[in-house]
Amino acid sequence: MCGIVGYIGHKQAKPILVEGLKRLEYRGYDSAGVAVVRSGRVEITRAVGRITNLEARLAQTPQEATVGIAHTRWATHGGPSENNAHPHAALAGRIALVHNGIIENYRALATFLERQGVTCSTETDTEVLAHLIGHCYQGNLEQAVRNALHEVQGTYGIAVVCADEPDCIVAARKGSPLIIGVGDGEYVLASDASAIVQHTAQVVYLADGEMAVLTRDRFHTTTLDAVPVTKDVHEIEFSLEEIELSGHEHFMAKEIFEQPQSLANTLRGRLNTREGAIVLGGIAGHARDLARAQRIIFTAQGTAWHAGLVGEYLFEDIAKLPAETEYASEFRYRNPLIDNGAVIIAISQSGETADTLAALREAKMKGALVLGVVNAVGSTIAREADAGVYLHCGPEIGVASTKAFTSQLAVLAMMAIQLGRRRFLSQDEAHQLITALSRVPELVDQVVQQSHEIRTAVETVIDRENWLFLGRGYNYPVALEGALKLKEISYIHAEGMPAAEMKHGPIALISEGMPVVFIATRGRQYDKVLGNIEEVRSRGGKIIAVATEGDQEINRIAEHVFWVPDIPEPLQPLLTVVPLQLLAYHAAVLRGCNVDKPRNLAKSVTVE
Ligand code: AGP
């Protein structure tokens, strides 16, 4: 997804802008550009492909400039090209703009501009916005941006500079995040804190409908209607070291192997093993509403949706509360039947997924209590939910979600236990689950030690283009997650489904040597899974199994077995997903794929 960086201060802007773009690379992009204001002019440099291509171009340009904006573009309107790359210029190059989001009425605006004699040279909606600001400019950039945005329908996070006002950057947001890093005599503007943390830990989160004007010695924020807004300064929770590779080859590997620590951080201070209680301060004020809920609706996309599916089993099994899981993209348009007994739980690592945010807003508009399970502190979903629980698993840079998923499962398990204790879960039952949950970080540390064996297993099937992932009960969503991991980073086609569903069609796919991954841990449906394994074996499928340590039956019938320690069934997904993360990772590396920046993918899908 696109990234924005802006700088105004006393240092050379270009190196800061480029370094900031590199911190945002993980979001996914196909071109990049920089605009600086110097000697009464706006200088724009753009390049297709990696940021190193932009750097090579910039090296040919003068370096003296202390105000600038920059952008990594993930193409929506108009293909990846230098001409379509941001920043876009207007007013004969006197104004430059970078933009995240989608201007939905850009065609009507372009027609209006053409009537004023202004023509666009690209296919982008962003260029139209740049020209609209240029059209509104009458010597005051802030006012020009304000007037232009009043005509806009859609979403935006923008930064604008002007040659005639060389000592300011104007920013505005509606539906696409913008954060202001507050330095000493300097400000860094960015789409997310990863591009700011090396300069300052003091940040201000712009809210939807707000604008900011940054100069070297101050910034002021207003609404789009020029009403002053006082903003709190927050502290970034993570360190620079947490967003660096720290010796790993890829962020995905780092984040898989740091799950013992990230899970420990998620659980810290929240498990009272002695009393068999859970402490979740973020939703304490809504404990009564939750206890009175008649049903829970999880809403999310992608991996977070898989976490919601596990949550569905957890809430029904432990809290004895009806639960369902909805794709946010469907929920938001389906005019959902939300009565006042429903509590909505929006799950999102980034806290910026457009569909999940829209589903949250739809549910709130219908009067439901909406809780967020989010990783990114201060993100839009976190701020717009009525309350929530942060993952505290640290920034997740790899596009394929790994540690955020296991932390989502840990939070959902804690919420289910806490709610269960207000309903029918006994103290003993809660104590058992909480004690087991407290051991998960050390158990995950055992599981990741199998990385080499998993790689060896993957090597034997690396040429296969179609896989199946099968599981039952709590491990059915894990089968879906394993398939998604493999698909999105190795580009191998994979399908996950309930193991029993295979007989209703997909078994026709089974061919000699086809890899079929079973999550076959001990549990209520273990014998059924054994039967499904035999059905696949008898048709030549190659069995790869995730099994409970010591299970000799699985060891006899599967070609490769990845072991997980025994744990109560509701907590098994926290362990069984880890071998599947490693399996996908090694497959991607063996196939030479770009593990952290898979093709076509973005870390946070902030557009529909
Ligand atoms: C996960 O590996 C994917 N990158 C993707 O499905 C992701 O989980 C989904 O886009 C939701 O993102 P969110 O958790 O930030 O809302």
- Active-site choice (174, 485, 597, 603): 603
Q: Is 603 an annotated catalytic residue?
A: yes
Task: With beta carbons less than 8 A apart as the criterion, state whether 368 and 326 touch.
Answer: no
Average pLDDT over residues 492-501: 97
Q: Is 22 an annotated catalytic residue?
A: no
In the predicted structure, residue 78 carries a pLDDT above the cut 90: no
Cα–Cα distance between 480 and 231 in angstroms, integer? 42
- Which one-letter DSSP state was computed for residue 154? B
Average pLDDT over residues 197-209: 93
Task: With beta carbons less than 8 A apart as the criterion, state whether 90 and 130 touch.
Answer: yes
CA-484 nearest atom, ligand 1: 2
User: Best of 401, 412, 596, 597 to mutate for ligand 1, by most ligand atoms within 8 A of CB?
Assistant: 401
Cα–Cα distance between 158 and 166 in angstroms, integer? 17
Average pLDDT over residues 232-256: 87
pLDDT of residue 76: 67
CA-376 nearest atom, ligand 1: 15
- State the distance from the centre of ligand 1 to the C-alpha of 350, rounded, in angstroms: 8
Give residue 226's region: left, alpha or beta (phi > 0; psi -120 to 50): left
Q: Which amino acid is at 530?
A: L
3-state SS assignment for residue 559: coil
Confidence at 475, pLDDT banded by 50, 70, 90: very high
In the predicted structure, residue 25 carries a pLDDT above the cut 90: no
Could you tell me the pTM of the whole model? 0.80
- State the distance from the centre of ligand 1 to the C-alpha of 405, rounded, in angstroms: 9
- State the distance from the centre of ligand 1 to the C-alpha of 327, rounded, in angstroms: 12
Pocket of ligand 1 (CB under 6 A): 301-304, 348-350, 353, 356, 399-401, 488, 604-605
- State the distance from the centre of ligand 1 to the C-alpha of 406, rounded, in angstroms: 13
pLDDT of residue 340: 80
Confidence at 474, pLDDT banded by 50, 70, 90: very high
pLDDT of residue 277: 92
Task: With beta carbons less than 8 A apart as the criterion, state whether 405 and 303 touch.
Answer: yes
Average pLDDT over residues 248-267: 94
- Active-site choice (2, 120, 136, 393): 2
User: Best of 604, 607, 608 to mutate for ligand 1, by most ligand atoms within 8 A of CB?
Assistant: 604
End-to-end CA distance of the chain: 12
Task: With beta carbons less than 8 A apart as the criterion, state whether 370 and 386 touch.
Answer: yes
In the predicted model, what is the mean pLDDT of the chain? Answer: 94
CA dihedral 488→346→266→243, nearest 10 degrees, is: 50
pLDDT of residue 218: 95
Nearest to 402 by CA among 484, 492, 510: 484
CA-381 nearest atom, ligand 1: 16
pLDDT of residue 62: 87
Cα–Cα distance between 321 and 443 in angstroms, integer? 29
250-262: b (≥16 Cβ within 10 Å) or e: bbbbbbbbbbbeb
pLDDT of residue 502: 92
Cα–Cα distance between 214 and 187 in angstroms, integer? 7
Share of the chain above pLDDT 90, in %: 85
134-178 pLDDT, tens digit each: 999 999 999 999 999 999 999 999 999 999 999 999 999 998 889
- State the distance from the centre of ligand 1 to the C-alpha of 301, rounded, in angstroms: 6
DSSP E strands, 56-152: 67-73, 88-90, 95-100
In the predicted structure, residue 117 carries a pLDDT above the cut 70: yes
In the predicted structure, residue 242 carries a pLDDT above the cut 80: no
310-358 pLDDT, tens digit each: 999 999 999 999 999 999 999 999 999 998 899 999 999 999 999 999 9
Cα–Cα distance between 343 and 354 in angstroms, integer? 20
Q: In this structure, is the dihedral angle defined by the CA atoms of residues 16, 605, 466 and 516, taken in order, positive or negative?
A: positive
Radius of gyration of the chain (CA): 25
pLDDT of residue 49: 87
Nearest to 518 by CA among 437, 452, 579, 450: 579
pLDDT of residue 54: 95
178-191 pLDDT, tens digit each: 999 999 999 999 99
pLDDT of residue 1: 65
In the predicted structure, residue 80 carries a pLDDT above the cut 80: no
Cα–Cα distance between 360 and 68 in angstroms, integer? 35
**Better-scored residue on pLDDT, 79 or 271:** 271
| Protein residue with least CA distance to atom 16, ligand 1 | 348
Q: Which amino acid is at 316?
A: E
pLDDT of residue 29: 76
Share of the chain above pLDDT 70, in %: 99
Chain-centroid distance, C-alpha 401: 7
In the predicted structure, residue 97 carries a pLDDT above the cut 90: yes
pLDDT of residue 508: 94
- Which one-letter DSSP state was computed for residue 91? T
